[in-house]
Structure 1
Amino acid sequence: ANLVNEAAIFAARRDKKQIYQEEFLESIEKVLLGPERKSHLLSKKEKEICAFHEAGHALVAASIPEAEQVRKISIVSRGMVAGYTLALPKEEKRIKTKSEFLAELSVLLGGFCAERLKFKEISTGATNDLEKVSLLTRNLVTKYGMSKLGPISFGKKESMPFLGWEAETERNYLQNKILHKT
């Protein structure tokens, strides 16, 4: 409902009698990413870093068939981010495969890698991406059973002392291995 309300507000501000795709796309961005922060101006160098970062996400997504399709790239600040690459699924799904997760990891790291390749330096621009990568790799190993440990889930608060330090070390190793594979 919030999405439709935002789209209706955008349409009304433009004196439109109907809501069109343009308004829905803008409302998706506002709901998912927050309002535009027009007061947050980036320096020329920051814009360049942000542009290469977002292009990195898009290039990686375009090169992997399992990746979600990029719909829009922007270096306009929204919420707490300097820029964003908006990718939407090709179809609505409730189940994800390991290859789709690996594609998602690759796309998330695409911005980080693009910065490193272009500027021989990394910035804080990838902070949110790295948080998502860490959570996703942890879930692949500890929740979804998509690692060498096999079909096992390490519940959130469940204590598994019988697995011990070796399993914990193996879990951390596998998370790192997944990261470096993408």
Structure 2
Amino acid sequence: MELISRNLVNIAAIKAAVEGAEKLTAAQLEFAKDRILMGTERKTMFISEESKKLTAYHESGHAIVAFNTEGAHPIHKATIMPRGSALGMVTQLPSSDETSISKKQLLARLDVCMGGRVAEELIFGQDHVTTGASSDLHTATELAQYMVSNCGMSDAIGPMHINERPSSELQSRVDAEVMKLLREAYDRVKALLKKHEKALHVLANALLEYETLSAEEMKRILHPYREGRQPEQQEVVQEEGELVLA
């Protein structure tokens, strides 16, 4: 944690020096925070409009699930600006230090992982889903495996820690439980995104326009849909660099 704090201040200080600022500002610290959490922006990378659109819906799927799933970490930002090795991402931050994690929270993480893939499938069709969800699925599979094998969170397996070389019979049962957790998460997310499809469209369009949105900006954009108001009653505009609803 101390190392991360030093890195954050160092990156912010370099940013301030480049900008000719005498003191660190909140904007420079935010820039440093994003650099650490999300990686370096690749502004010169060419991305086709089709790929941008798909990425916008993929990341919006993650965000909509996180906003509407109890136990999910609060969202920090969503972006379709390529950073590091990713074409886009949604970053989440825990609201407090975690010493232990509940099953509800782990299931929420599974659901958020599924959000991107399900959004792609819902909007573009099964034949047009991409490899962009491979990392999400890898994370979800490892998490489900951890829940079953290490945490005793499967009724079928029971409260036991499974060693590295279980019998073939036990391994088959574990695999079936992992698949069950993943399939249930997929089904929950598919139902949720169908229910919130209008919000999915409006958030994806906002990402296409602004590329990066903070949690507060996303909440303002999505607020009418949480309240049951119609999208045509609100227009997203930008004033002095800040998103507002008009």
- Residues 35-84 of structure 1 show CA distances to partners (whole Å, capped at 9, x for unaligned) of 11122221000000000000000100110121111121111101110001
1:57 aligns with 2:65: no
Cα deviation code 1:107-165 (max 9, x no counterpart): 1110110000000031011121111111111111112221121222224xx444xxx22
- Pick the aligned partner of 1:169 from 162, 167, 172: 172
Which residue is equivalent to 1:68?
A: 73
- Cα 1:93/1:21, change in 2 over 3 Å: farther
Within the alignment, does 1:130 sit opposite 2:137 as a pair?
yes
Query: What residue in structure 1 maps to residue 158 of structure 2?
Result: 150
Counterparts of 1:113 and 1:169, CA distance in 2: 27
Separation (CA, whole Å) in 2 of partners of 1:101 and 1:24: 30
Choose 143-152 or 121-130, whichever is displaced more: 143-152
User: More helix by proportion, 1 or 2?
Assistant: 2
- TM-score calculated relative to the size of structure 2: 0.68
Using the TM superposition, give the Cα deviation of residue 5 of structure 1 relative to its aligned residue in structure 2, in angstroms. 1.4
**Matched residue SS, 1:73:** strand
**SS at structure 2 position matched to 1:52:** helix
Q: Give the Cα separation in 1 of the matches to 2:82 and 2:182.
A: 28
Q: How many angstroms apart in 2 are the aligned matches of 1:166 and 1:78? A: 43
- 1:16-35 residue pairs with structure 2 within 5 A? 16-35=21-40
SS in 2 for 1:71: strand
Aligned partner of 1:117 among 115, 122, 142 = 122
Determine if contact 2:58/2:116 at 8 Å carries over to the other structure.
yes
Q: After the TM superposition, which of the residue ranges 118-127 and 22-31 deviates more from structure 2? A: 22-31
Distance 1:127 1:85 in 2: 15
CA-CA distance at 1:173 after TM superposition:
0.4
Structure 2 partner of 1:8: 13
- What is the identity percentage for the equivalent residue pairs of Structure 1 and Structure 2? 33
* Cα separation, 2, equivalents of 1:135 and 1:46: 27
| Partner secondary structure for residue 78 of structure 2 | strand
Of the two structures, which has the highest relative contact order with CA contacts closer than 8 Å and spacing of 6 or more?
Answer: 2
**Normalization by structure 1: what TM-score?**
0.90
Instruction: Find the aligned partners of 1:18 and 1:93 in 2 and give their Cα distance.
Output: 33
Instruction: Give the number of aligned pairs.
Output: 177
Match of 1:181 in 2: 184
- Change over 3 Å in CA distance of 1:113–1:151 after alignment to 2: same
1:141 to 148, 160, 164: 148
Q: What is the CA distance between 1:102 and its match in structure 2?
A: 0.5
Cα distance in structure 2, aligned partners of 1:124 and 1:99: 28
C-alpha distance after superposition, 1:16-40 (max 9, x if no partner): 3333333333223222332111222
For residues 48 and 159 of structure 1, the distance between their equivalents in structure 2, rounded to whole angstroms, comes to 44
CA root-mean-square deviation: 1.5
* Unaligned residue ranges in structure 1 (runs of 5+): none
Structure 2, unpaired ranges of 5+: 1-5, 186-246
